[in-house]
Chain A
């Protein structure tokens, strides 16, 4: 029983981080129709960058984190402006492929600057584990869940009340009508890339403070794809709900199935879920199926 509780808590908390990263994906998809397949690589890059700021240059933690967020905003802007804007109105194949090229580039960049490949972040959260009932949970998990919740809250307030947030939602509804209102949609695209990058950065920091920095973070990003597929590509709510489900499934499978199958079954569960969703309900739990006319 203790195991079950343990798996449940770690699964749900890690899943919330997946949700956070996945929401960045949904944001870009909704506003500009671009599928960002470089998500995992972005998570890796931001984790390393945080490492660079905190461990290598030795900035104080708060300042280091501010720099990381600023870098994420800048990178998001750069990506939108110089990579995706020239490709507006190109077929989706090109849009997918360009993010793949970016993924390749970012991965190379990480190897280029931090070639040793594995490291740990300086501690950001208190160390001692906490007992919840019979389970012992290290605090990082709870912090991760807390930070994710906080960001969900902040984002939903932003989308509800700010001028830009409302315009971003409007763009998701009808891009051309937004342009007819004289709103520069390119600014909305770049804003959504900037936000998505910040979410990937925060997700990366949380994940790497739980499990250290390694190439495995790329797969964390990939797992967020299973979150968006399960939740539905165009649904924030879907992303929030599907994250913990994926995290839970992964941890429960890791806990109970490893004995019956092979080790590492935990890593593959999200991909198996993708395939299952594709077969049963390809547009996810909350996604709108695309209505097409000839």
Chain B
């Protein structure tokens, strides 16, 4: 179980972007982290995976626990070894490597070659399309296939928790649903907990068990997926639907701040 305790994150020692976020990712569940641009979703993920220092950021207050271990001061590789793996935003594949080599990089920290083989088959089982493409240079794959490679690479680490940063970015709606379906199956079958950052609230909530809404570096709303799906504000501000299901017009949108119930 992952537990964030009121963390604050500061970049360059001056720019504080997370002002006290607390959340829990229970074992075996899918948790969605929602919010608009600049809400601090990606930063929260990086704080968990220990990648902040790359961007000269730091967890300046609060604590992050993975089971009983405190991880907010550990480096990325230690956290990776604990079984937390992150797939970065924006399909960061290794363009000059083949698809299969990309997957192998994901399994870097595992020494049992037999298991790695098995997991490779497992990834091909979830993404049958990759099996045909495994000798192709990853840089030339299509966007959807690249996203599959990235998620597959995260699966190859045999993680206890997988963090996905906007897996739907720039993909066609059909493909988004396909990928999300696979993530859900992976979660149910392998008992891996999943933390998804997503702007596409509808699809994220369709598979998530629980969700947190982030705004300006604070959790403004949290609840079960069903609760959030039916929450008027979430519907209105993140799904673009008014109470009646009709598209809102811009004139009303202008006043949205005033009408948000949680502010």
A180 lies within 8 A of chain B by Cβ: yes
Across the interface, do A176 and B88 meet the contact criterion of CB distance under 8 Å? yes
B96 lies within 8 A of chain A by Cβ: yes
| Interface flags, B79-123, vs A, CB<8A=1, else 0 | 111001111100011111100011011101100000000000000
Chain A interface, number of residues (Cβ within 8 angstroms):
18
B77 lies within 8 A of chain A by Cβ: yes
| Interface flags, A126-169, vs B, CB<8A=1, else 0 | 00000000000000000000000000000000000001001101
Across the interface, do A166 and B104 meet the contact criterion of CB distance under 8 Å? yes
Which of the residues B92, B94, B97, B157 comes within 8 Å of A182, measured between beta carbons? B157
Question: In the complex, which range does the number of interface residues on chain B fall in?
Answer: 20 to 34
One of B17-25, B48-56, B125-133, B226-234 at the interface: B48-56
Across the interface, do A167 and B108 meet the contact criterion of CB distance under 8 Å? yes
Across the interface, do B97 and A170 meet the contact criterion of CB distance under 8 Å? yes
Across the interface, do B94 and A89 meet the contact criterion of CB distance under 8 Å? no
A101 lies within 8 A of chain B by Cβ: no
Which of the residues B75, B76, B81, B104 comes within 8 Å of A180, measured between beta carbons? B76
Across the interface, do B79 and A182 meet the contact criterion of CB distance under 8 Å? yes
B153 lies within 8 A of chain A by Cβ: yes
A5 lies within 8 A of chain B by Cβ: no
Question: How far, in whole Å, are A77 and B88 apart by their CA atoms in the complex?
Answer: 30
Least CB distance, B87 to chain A, in whole angstroms: 7
When C-beta atoms are compared, the residue in chain B nearest to A89 turns out to be B56
Least CB distance, B11 to chain A, in whole angstroms: 13
Given the known A-B contacts A163-B104, A183-B108, are A177 and B157 also in contact in the complex, defined by CB atoms under 8 Å?
no
Across the interface, do A179 and B105 meet the contact criterion of CB distance under 8 Å? no
Least CB distance, B104 to chain A, in whole angstroms: 6
Across the interface, do A177 and B108 meet the contact criterion of CB distance under 8 Å? no
Q: What residues on B are CB-neighbors of A167 within 8 Å? A: 105, 108
Across the interface, do B56 and A180 meet the contact criterion of CB distance under 8 Å? no
Across the interface, do B51 and A182 meet the contact criterion of CB distance under 8 Å? no
Q: Which residues of B contact A (CB under 8 A)?
A: 49, 51, 54, 56, 75-77, 79-81, 84-88, 92-97, 101-102, 104-106, 108-109, 153-154, 157
When C-beta atoms are compared, the residue in chain A nearest to B87 turns out to be A180
Which of the residues A89, A177, A182 comes within 8 Å of B81, measured between beta carbons? A182
Q: Which of A182-213 contact B (CB under 8 A)?
A: 182-184
Question: How far, in whole Å, are A181 and B92 apart by their CA atoms in the complex?
Answer: 11
Given the known A-B contacts A177-B88, A177-B92, are A182 and B109 also in contact in the complex, defined by CB atoms under 8 Å?
yes
Q: What residues on B are CB-neighbors of A173 within 8 Å? A: 93-97
A172 lies within 8 A of chain B by Cβ: yes
Least CB distance, A181 to chain B, in whole angstroms: 5
Across the interface, do A182 and B80 meet the contact criterion of CB distance under 8 Å? yes
Least CB distance, A132 to chain B, in whole angstroms: 38
Across the interface, do A182 and B87 meet the contact criterion of CB distance under 8 Å? no
Q: What residues on A are CB-neighbors of B94 within 8 Å? A: 169-170, 173-174, 177-178
Across the interface, do A180 and B51 meet the contact criterion of CB distance under 8 Å? yes
Q: Which residues of A contact B (CB under 8 A)?
A: 89, 163, 166-167, 169-170, 172-174, 176-184
Known: A177-B92, A182-B77, A182-B109. 9 other contacts (CB 8 A): A89-B54, A166-B97, A172-B96, A173-B93, A177-B88, A180-B51, A181-B105, A181-B108, A182-B85
Q: What residues on B are CB-neighbors of A176 within 8 Å? A: 51, 54, 88, 92
Can you give 18 contacting A-B residue pairs, CB < 8 Å?
A89-B56, A166-B101, A167-B105, A169-B94, A174-B93, A174-B94, A177-B93, A179-B77, A180-B88, A181-B105, A181-B106, A181-B154, A181-B157, A182-B81, A182-B84, A182-B109, A183-B108, A184-B75
Least CB distance, A131 to chain B, in whole angstroms: 43
> Would you list the 7 A-B pairs with minimal beta carbon distance, nearest first?
A182-B80, A184-B77, A177-B92, A173-B94, A170-B94, A179-B76, A170-B105
Least CB distance, B16 to chain A, in whole angstroms: 20
Least CB distance, A168 to chain B, in whole angstroms: 10
Given the known A-B contacts A163-B104, A166-B104, are A179 and B54 also in contact in the complex, defined by CB atoms under 8 Å?
yes
Q: What residues on B are CB-neighbors of A182 within 8 Å? A: 76-77, 79-81, 84-85, 108-109, 157
Question: How far, in whole Å, are A156 and B154 apart by their CA atoms in the complex?
Answer: 26
Least CB distance, B207 to chain A, in whole angstroms: 22
When C-beta atoms are compared, the residue in chain A nearest to B96 turns out to be A173
Question: How far, in whole Å, are A177 and B76 apart by their CA atoms in the complex?
Answer: 11
Across the interface, do A180 and B85 meet the contact criterion of CB distance under 8 Å? yes
Q: What residues on A are CB-neighbors of B76 within 8 Å? A: 179-180, 182, 184
Q: What residues on B are CB-neighbors of A172 within 8 Å? A: 96
Question: How far, in whole Å, are A170 and B106 apart by their CA atoms in the complex?
Answer: 10
When C-beta atoms are compared, the residue in chain B nearest to A174 turns out to be B92
Least CB distance, B86 to chain A, in whole angstroms: 5
Given the known A-B contacts A173-B95, A173-B96, A173-B97, are A183 and B105 also in contact in the complex, defined by CB atoms under 8 Å?
yes
Least CB distance, A120 to chain B, in whole angstroms: 43
Q: What residues on A are CB-neighbors of B104 within 8 Å? A: 163, 166
When C-beta atoms are compared, the residue in chain A nearest to B100 turns out to be A166
Least CB distance, B144 to chain A, in whole angstroms: 18
Q: What residues on A are CB-neighbors of B56 within 8 Å? A: 89
Across the interface, do B80 and A181 meet the contact criterion of CB distance under 8 Å? yes
